[in-house]
Amino acid sequence: ETFPFVFSLAAAIFAYALWFHILARRLTGPRVWPLVGSLPSLFENRRRIHDWMASNLRATGGLATYQTCTIALPFLAWKQGLYTVTCHPKNIEHILKTRFDNYPKGPNWQAAFHDLLGQGIFNSDGETWLIQRKTAALEFTTRTLRQAMARWVNRTIKDRLWHILDRASIEKKSVDLQDLLLRLTFDNICGLTFGKDPETLSPELPENSFAVAFDTATEATLYRFLYPGLLWRLEKILGIGVEKRLKRSLQIVENYMNDAVEARKEAPSDDLLSRFMKKRDAEGNLFTSDVLQHIALNFVLAGRDTSSVALSWFFWL
């Protein structure tokens, strides 16, 4: 009776070993171990995750493989347990522009980001995404919005950034340029999106509760991709761990955004939020306050870190 069991077990182990050998040979990226994949390397480099990713991409051979590698995370990634990572401009263009329709976010992505981004442009597909994309593309080309953008940027640079840098120069003190640029873009995008100035680029460089809560909520949301869906959902139900931090931060963000939406309902202006208030969703209905909050948050996310990081790299290079 034990022979069939032993034979079946041996056959299963042999089949797995053969499959693993074939799989590991064709994958580029960090070393893949049986059963646990690249999880040991991921854990070892968790404090320098971006540098680790970059070193794996550089090791793929440049243009020969379009700077793309595969990371095996059997308990974290869905389906085959494989994550494809790329940094080649042609691949990025293909994903974000040429064949964007071929890369939907999917239910797992949308579930993880729903609490923070709702059905905003970064967390939607199909008609919902298209309506927001067309509206944003149209509005960013209008003269009124471009004038508003120039007004916000000129104000924050001339009245704030310039004075901070000038004072640092006179006092011969160093400054954290990356932090200043992050504050600059945050003030600008908040003003442009919903007309509310958080004033984080004041001379004292104050800590803004909305900015801190937004950062915390974004980081906590990203942690959902490091754990199986069942685990972070359980933490959410129990109100423990990272999910507890996320809930507390989201409450601050939602209160701030609710005030911004209500203010714009009473006094519309030339910002993005006021313009989206006039638009309709896929069913032909005006956007609800909750949806408007998430739409605005998506644009804050889009215009804050991306611009500040690009400016930081510009000055560093």
Domain of 198: which CATH number?
1.10.630.10
Same domain, 239 and 310: yes
Same domain, 60 and 146: no
So what's the pLDDT on residue 77? 47
Same domain, 96 and 170: no
Q: Whole domain around residue 149: which residue ranges? A: 132-316
Residues of the chain with pLDDT under 70: 1-3, 16, 19-21, 23-24, 61-66, 74-80
Is residue 197 included in any domain, yes or no? yes
Is residue 123 included in any domain, yes or no? no
Question: How many residues appear in the chain?
Answer: 317
Is residue 167 included in any domain, yes or no? yes
Is residue 110 included in any domain, yes or no? no
Query: pLDDT tens, 203-247?
Result: 889 999 999 999 999 999 988 887 778 888 999 999 999 999 999
Same domain, 149 and 215: yes
Q: Give the number of domains in the chain.
A: 2
Q: Are 311 and 181 in contact (CB under 8 A)?
A: yes
CA nearest to 254, candidates 121, 111, 115:
115
Q: Are 201 and 187 in contact (CB under 8 A)?
A: yes
User: What is the number of other CB atoms lying within 10 angstroms of the CB of residue 44?
Assistant: 11
The span from the CA of 76 to the CA of 82, in Å, is 9
Q: Which of 103, 122, 148 is the last residue of a domain?
A: 103
Query: pLDDT tens, 32-57?
Result: 777 777 888 888 888 888 888 888 88
CA nearest to 192, candidates 157, 150, 143, 135:
150
Same domain, 68 and 196: no
